[in-house]
């Protein structure tokens, strides 16, 4: 009897020690934020840790490899310069094989999709993705010259004369003359996209034409300019500016300031 008692004690001690010797895994208690139900509380409105970079807000250009739709969210398997990973965003009609842009992102590990009964080892939550065709610079013509994607008045009044301002028709007709030069242009703001890639994108028209169409100049600036404003801007003219994703501008004014 005594032998059986000591045998039981020895067995219990051995079992305890073997359990204690196993590696312990400590996980963050974020169950709600690591499931589809937690996405709404997570907000998806974040501009932190980007895949493969420091915590900045650079634009990421990705190719869609796979699309998984849920009632309220969309999962995207993307390829960014050969690196493949998953994104989760608000429900969107993303298309496989198309190029999209996004900013920011919040990394989650062991993220559970109950609708698909699967767990993503790593996934980035992003507020939204946009097709590359909706790049802030506007819609490109076949020649690569950007045109406004809407909001331009049909019968715009010619801009008031501004001293030393170069007409947009003159700029486009003799663009090599102004390459790298700091000049002044004036006109009406017909389209704005603010806060993209750390700058504001403004389309200016002055009532003149080039190749039978309204001359439209894309300007990047730190100024906040409402649509419909009559403005005079001074900045550097750059030719053949390539932002990637097929967005090349024959003529663009950069780092423009007001007059």
Question: Same domain for 63 and 115?
Answer: yes
Q: How many domains does the chain have?
A: 2
Which one, of 233, 236, 205, 247, lies nearest residue 59 by Cα? Answer: 247
Tell me whether residue 107 is in a domain.
yes
Q: Which residues pair with 84 in a beta bridge?
A: 79
Question: pLDDT for 14-26, tens place per residue?
Answer: 444 444 433 322 2
Question: pLDDT for 181-206, tens place per residue?
Answer: 999 999 999 988 777 777 888 999 99
What pLDDT, on the 0 to 100 scale, is given for residue 214?
93
Tell me whether residue 25 is in a domain.
no
Helix (H, G, I), strand (E, B) or coil at 40: helix
What is the rounded average pLDDT of the residues 71-84? 91
Question: pLDDT for 24-35, tens place per residue?
Answer: 222 333 444 567
Question: Same domain for 224 and 238?
Answer: yes
* pLDDT tops 60 at residue 68: yes
Regarding predicted confidence, which is higher, 228 or 135? 228
Written as one string, the DSSP assignment of 142-158 is TTS-EE--S---TTPPP
């Amino acid at each position: 009897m005594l032998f059986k008692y000591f045998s039981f004690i020895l067995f219990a001690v051995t079992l305890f020690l073997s359990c204690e010797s196993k590696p312990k895994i400590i996980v963050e208690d974020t169950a709600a934020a690591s499931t589809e139900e937690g996405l709404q509380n997570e907000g998806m409105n974040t501009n932190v840790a980007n895949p493969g970079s420091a915590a900045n807000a650079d634009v990421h250009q990705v190719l869609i490899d796979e699309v998984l739709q849920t009632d309220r969210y969309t999962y995207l398997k993307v390829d960014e310069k050969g690196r493949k990973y998953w994104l989760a965003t608000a429900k969107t009609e993303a298309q496989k094989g198309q190029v999209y842009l996004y900013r920011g992102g919040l990394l989650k590990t062991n993220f559970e999709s109950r609708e698909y009964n699967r767990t993503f080892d790593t996934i980035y939550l992003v507020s939204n993705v946009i097709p590359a065709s909706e790049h802030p610079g506007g819609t490109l013509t076949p020649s690569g010259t950007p045109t406004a994607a809407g909001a331009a008045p049909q019968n715009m009044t010619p801009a008031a004369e501004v001293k030393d301002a170069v007409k947009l028709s003159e700029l486009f007709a003799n663009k090599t003359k102004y390459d790298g030069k700091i000049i002044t242009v004036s006109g009406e703001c017909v389209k704005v996209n603010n806060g993209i890639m750390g700058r504001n994108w403004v389309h200016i028209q002055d009532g003149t034409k080039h190749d039978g169409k309204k001359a439209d100049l894309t300007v990047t600036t730190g100024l906040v300019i409402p649509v419909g404003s009559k403005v005079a801007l001074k900045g550097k003219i750059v030719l053949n500016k390539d932002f990637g994703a097929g967005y090349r501008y024959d003529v663009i004014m950069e780092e423009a300031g007001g007059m």
